[in-house]
Amino acid sequence: MKLTAHRPSLPGLRLGAIACGLGLLLLAGTCVGSGPQESGYVLKGTIVTPNAVIENGSVFIAGERIQAVGAGVKAPPEAKVIETSGVILPGFVDLHNHLTWNLFPRWKPTQQFNNRYDWQQLPIYGVLLATPHAELFKENLGCDMNRFAEVKAITEGETSVVGSLGPPQECIEGLARNLDFYSGLYQPAVLGGEKLRYEVFPLELDAAVAAQINAALDKKELTAFIVHLAEGKSTDASAAREFRMFTARGFLRPGVSIIHGVALKQRDFHEMSGKVGLIWSPRSNLELYGSTTDIAAALQEHLTVALSPDWSPTGSDGMLKELTFAAAWSYAQAPPVVGSAELVRMATEYPARLAGLGDRIGRLEAGYSADVLVLRRVEKDAYEAILHATPADVELVMVGGEPVYGDAAVMKKVLPAGPLETIPICGATKAISFGSEARLQHSAPKPWKDTVNALSAALEKQGTSLAPLAECAP
């Protein structure tokens, strides 16, 4: 929902809220949520902080920020208490995605590839993905595509994403934080005014643009430069060579993070150590190339590693699924490569740090933005409960202190005046609020069924179908 940390209340918003009553805003004759409840919420359950698990703990949220976390938290008597049955943790931060592609069904190639350039040249890739994707944009459905993907991300516990539509598409304002174009975490909140730059093909940037990026990093105008690099088989020479070219551009420096890096070796990770972060997408790597990044070597060189799902066609639907996959992959190694607590940090604290936002999101800590996820506890161990959770286990998602999505009963309790729309997920009835989207875009919220129907009809004309929000089978 991209709200700023201390955004002042605008007179129009305050008058609208009074007119509509109960903290609601009147837009186009429709009442929509006006923002976080100022009297606050107290979430009670098992709390996962960066360094500890607090059983029977509380998180006190007022406005857009976390006010207190612990076992003996005191809150005003008017704060709304939400007794959860699960684990409370920071919302997931996804630094590697391609949102407008996440409406497509899974793509199951009949072969594995040497590098990403191989499969992008296949005719079948054009028929099943590239051409329909382009045609939907021609039908002016880009905003619907991005909206579907943001909802998909939120149902997987994500509160921040990268890889969305960019300016002038104001339709990305609302729902999840779009860290590359509109997070709402900086003042003023301006579309396209972020300090994170995301590049899919960094080596195609000309020398002048590369110099501009380096200068922006020097001046702190950019705090994060996230790039795809060395994507292919671990033995692919052309993918490995990209690292040398990347280094020659002057990008081996703090503030930069490499996505994939499957073809990188321990010597490369040694060069990156203390400078460059790594973003790991194991499921998509294994599906397309038969191998994934040498995470053991990266961790030996003390790299900060974040986990991300890539995209739905060959990766995971979202962070929950990617966490489950990464855990299964790690346990299958001898010995296991990444522990459960570290995997959770790879989805919360570490990506926030690589995004240059480690002081604002990614942790449950006083002063941080109240981007919070509550998961039903399905295991005795809190970290294992997170790793084995499914979309049906998502009880509540809050962004900037505002409830956005969760179990229908929970959402009706925290937002009794609504309006809410129900979404079935893996046999569970969930509810979502589009209040933040409507408020920031200054329009009544578009019905969710309209987004689904428009995309379904357009995809049917292209000989394909709209993917489900979640893969419900194990």
Which has the closest alpha carbon to 82: 38, 41, 119, 47? Answer: 41
From start to end of 318-393, where are the E strands?
A: 372-376
Q: Look up residue 210 and give its amino acid.
A: A
Q: What are residue 58's DSSP bridge partners?
A: 44, 70
**The domain that contains 418 carries what CATH number?**
2.30.40.10
| 136-195 pLDDT, tens digit each | 999 999 999 999 999 999 999 999 999 999 999 999 999 999 999 999 998 888 999 999
Hey, which residues does 357 pair with through a beta bridge?
A: none
Integer Cα distance of 197 and 130 in angstroms: 24
Whether 160 and 305 share a structural domain? yes
Domain-embedded: residue 5:
no
CATH classification at residue 323: 3.20.20.140
Residues 160 and 274 in one domain: yes
* Helix residue ranges per DSSP H, 38-130: 116-120, 123-125
Residue of 20, 41, 43 lying closest to 32 (CA atoms): 20
Whether residue 448 is predicted with pLDDT greater than 60 in this model: the reply is: yes
Is the model's pLDDT at 35 over the cut of 90? Answer: no
| Residues 258/290, Cβ–Cβ less than 8 Å | no
Same domain membership, residue 230 and residue 144: yes
| Residue at 455 is within a domain | no
- 256 closest CA partner among 356, 342, 352, 357: 356
**How much is the average pLDDT of 422-451?**
94
Whether 45 and 149 share a structural domain: no
Token pair 């795809």 is found at 228
Residue 175 CA to chain centroid, in angstroms?
A: 11
User: How sure is the predictor about 50, in pLDDT bands with cuts at 50, 70 and 90?
Assistant: confident
Same domain for 104 and 87?
no
Task: Please tell me the distance from the alpha carbon of residue 406 to that of residue 272, in angstroms, as a whole number.
Answer: 39
In 121-166, where does DSSP find H-type helix?
123-125, 131-138, 142-155
* Same-domain check for residues 35 and 121: no
| Banded model confidence at residue 474, pLDDT cuts 50, 70, 90 | low
Q: Is residue 469 part of a domain?
A: no
pLDDT value for 107: 96
Per-residue confidence band for 29, with pLDDT thresholds at 50, 70 and 90: very low
Count of domains forming the chain: 2
Q: Amino acid identity of 87?
A: V
Tell me which of 268 and 24 has the higher pLDDT. 268
Calculate mean pLDDT across residues 428-446.
92
The residue range of the domain holding 389 is: 11-91+362-443
In a shared domain, residues 129 and 207: yes
Classified as helix, coil or strand, 279 is strand
For residue 463, being part of any structural domain is answered with no
Q: Are residues 374 and 246 part of one domain?
A: no
- Same domain for 383 and 334, yes or no, is no
Give the integer Cα–Cα distance in Å for 167 and 194: 11
Same domain, 156 and 262: yes
Q: Is the peptide bond before 50 cis (omega within 30 degrees of 0)?
A: no
What backbone torsions phi and psi does residue 273 show, to the nearest 5 degrees? -55, 130
Which of 354, 372, 389 is at the close of a domain?
354
Residue 2 inside a domain? The answer is: no
Give phi and psi for 92, each to the nearest 5.
-70, 145
Q: What is the pLDDT of residue 31?
A: 42
Instruction: Quickly state the pLDDT bin for 37 (edges 50, 70, 90).
Output: confident
Torsion of CA 359, 364, 370, 372, to 10 degrees: 130
CA distance 458 to 455: 5
Pair (301, 240) in one structural domain: yes
Mean of pLDDT values over 384-412: 96
Report residue 257 CA to chain centroid gap.
Answer: 16
Q: Is residue 229 part of a domain?
A: yes
Q: pTM of the prediction?
A: 0.92
Residue 20 placed within a domain = yes
**Would the CA dihedral through 100, 149, 167, 450 be positive or negative?**
positive
Q: Which of 82, 91, 29 is nearest to 414 (CA)?
A: 82
Radius of gyration in angstroms for the set of CA atoms belonging to the chain, rounded to a whole number:
21
Q: For residues 435 and 31, what is the distance between their CA atoms, to the nearest angstrom?
A: 9
Residue 49 has pLDDT above 50, yes or no: yes
Give the mean pLDDT of the chain. 91
Last residue of a domain, one of 354, 385, 405: 354
SS3 for 8-19 is CCCHHHHHHHHH
Residue 449 lies in a domain: no
Q: Are residues 106 and 86 in the same domain?
A: no
In the chain, what is the greatest distance between 2 CA atoms, to the nearest angstrom? Answer: 65
